[in-house]
């Protein structure tokens, strides 16, 4: 892209999912810092809260679900193209829906490389050529390549969540309410994943909490789930929204989670992450990028088995997740105190 002639105002499209929307934030801040660009961001209502208080996102545009479907989307796309005439379109979604919006757009359009062929080849064959090409750029770097010829270092594109003082005050009050003090380190545990293949075995989580307590740690559970693993006041599953979860995670010494959207929230509030990876790998581009983030995984020939993590029931008995031991996680968490 010819950056000298590029507009300063851009509509950014990233409709889902949570982690993908979070990963846009560092890229947009980098483009604002280096090019002076300003942004409106089109996303779904469920993910809009991660963009609140972000100084480079001047407006969050949230269509209702009817406006995102079928003929309703074509009407919405035409309206957006007219509303944002003269603006650039930064398509960080790359689906049929966002491509339809491109057809209506009169200004410059930029889309990021999805490496679809390399992803299919690596997933199906485990060939090293596609793997190396995929591992060369994480997802934020791929987003940046939508407009930049060379991707910045991953450290320049780390996601950022901007919390307000009142949100931090709420977190302190909630922690006090459930008996978490400032006298010992706190590990926030996120046991859930949209795709069940990416979940650490359920029985490992209470064992980890017990082991953490024995090692002098406090713990807290966050996340969205219809079932609860813990019968304890510190299990706040389904009791916090995205902003509240971010505020609690920011207060922690470590976040322990699988490959999930909340994993990126940890990096975005500068809390070290211990991430448990199984069916997904670095090649998909979603490894956490914080300076002290740690990934625990098993080197198995069947990995990666699915770009999203699958629905469980693999023929190897989910060994990639099951064989990550509680003691190994404790060791990784403990190193974060040093």
CATH number for domain 165-335, candidates 3.40.50.300, 1.10.10.10, 3.40.50.2000, 3.80.10.10: 3.40.50.2000
202-250: per-residue pLDDT in tens?
Answer: 999 999 999 999 999 999 999 999 888 999 999 999 999 999 999 999 9
Task: State the pLDDT confidence band at 251, using cuts at 50, 70 and 90.
Answer: very high
pLDDT of residue 333: 98
Q: What fold does the segment set 3-147 form as a domain?
A: Rossmann fold (3.40.50)
Global pTM?
0.96
pLDDT of residue 75: 97
d(CA 134, CA 148): 17
Cβ partners under 8 Å of residue 248, min gap 6: 171, 174, 175, 188, 220, 222, 236, 240
Residue 337 scores a pLDDT above 90: no
pLDDT of residue 314: 79
Task: State the pLDDT confidence band at 61, using cuts at 50, 70 and 90.
Answer: very high
Three-state DSSP state, 13 = strand
Calculate the average pLDDT of the chain. 96
Q: Note whether 128 and 122 are within 8 A (CB).
A: no
Q: Note whether 44 and 123 are within 8 A (CB).
A: no
Round the CA-based radius of gyration of the chain to a whole number and report it. Answer: 20
Q: Note whether 38 and 8 are within 8 A (CB).
A: yes
Q: Quick one: 260 exposed, middle or buried, by C-beta within 10 A (0-12, 13-18, 19+)? A: buried
Residue 289 scores a pLDDT above 90: yes
d(CA 233, CA 200): 22
Q: Distance from first CA to last CA of the chain, Å, rounded? A: 45
**Domain extents for the chain?**
3-147, 165-335
Tell me, yes or no, if the two domains 3-147 and 165-335 fold the same way. yes
pLDDT of residue 307: 80
Closest CA to 250 of 140, 138, 156, 164: 164
């Amino acid at each position: 892209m010819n950056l000298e002639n590029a507009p300063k105002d851009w509509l950014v499209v990233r409709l889902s999912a949570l982690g993908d929307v979070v990963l846009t934030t560092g890229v947009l801040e980098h483009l604002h810092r280096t090019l002076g660009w300003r942004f409106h961001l089109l996303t779904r209502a469920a993910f809009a809260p991660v963009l609140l208080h972000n100084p480079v996102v001047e407006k969050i545009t949230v269509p209702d679900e009817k406006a995102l479907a079928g003929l309703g989307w074509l009407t919405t796309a035409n309206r957006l193209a007219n509303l944002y005439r003269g603006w650039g379109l930064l398509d960080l979604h790359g689906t049929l829906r966002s491509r339809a919006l491109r057809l209506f757009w009169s200004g410059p359009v930029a889309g990021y490389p999805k490496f679809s062929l390399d992803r299919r080849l690596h997933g199906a064959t485990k060939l090293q050529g596609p793997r190396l090409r995929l591992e060369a750029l994480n997802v934020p770097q791929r987003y940046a390549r939508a407009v930049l010829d060379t991707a910045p270092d991953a450290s320049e594109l780390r996601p950022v969540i901007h919390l307000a003082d009142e949100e931090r005050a709420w977190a302190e009050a909630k922690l006090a309410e459930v008996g978490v003090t400032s006298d010992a380190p706190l590990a926030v545990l996120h046991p859930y994943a949209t795709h069940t293949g990416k979940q650490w075995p359920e029985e490992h989580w209470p064992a980890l909490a017990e082991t953490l307590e024995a090692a002098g740690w406090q713990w807290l559970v966050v996340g969205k789930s219809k079932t609860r693993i813990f019968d304890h006041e510190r299990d706040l599953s389904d009791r916090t929204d995205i902003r509240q979860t971010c505020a609690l995670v920011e207060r922690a010494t470590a976040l322990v989670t699988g490959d999930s959207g909340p994993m990126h929230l940890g990096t975005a509030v500068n809390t070290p992450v211990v991430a448990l990876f199984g069916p997904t790998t670095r090649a998909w581009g979603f490894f956490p990028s914080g300076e002290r983030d740690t990934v625990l995984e098993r080197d198995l020939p069947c990995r990666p088995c699915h770009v999203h993590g699958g629905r469980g029931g693999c023929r190897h008995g989910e060994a990639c997740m099951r064989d990550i031991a509680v003691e190994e996680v404790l060791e990784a968490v403990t190193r974060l105190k040093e």
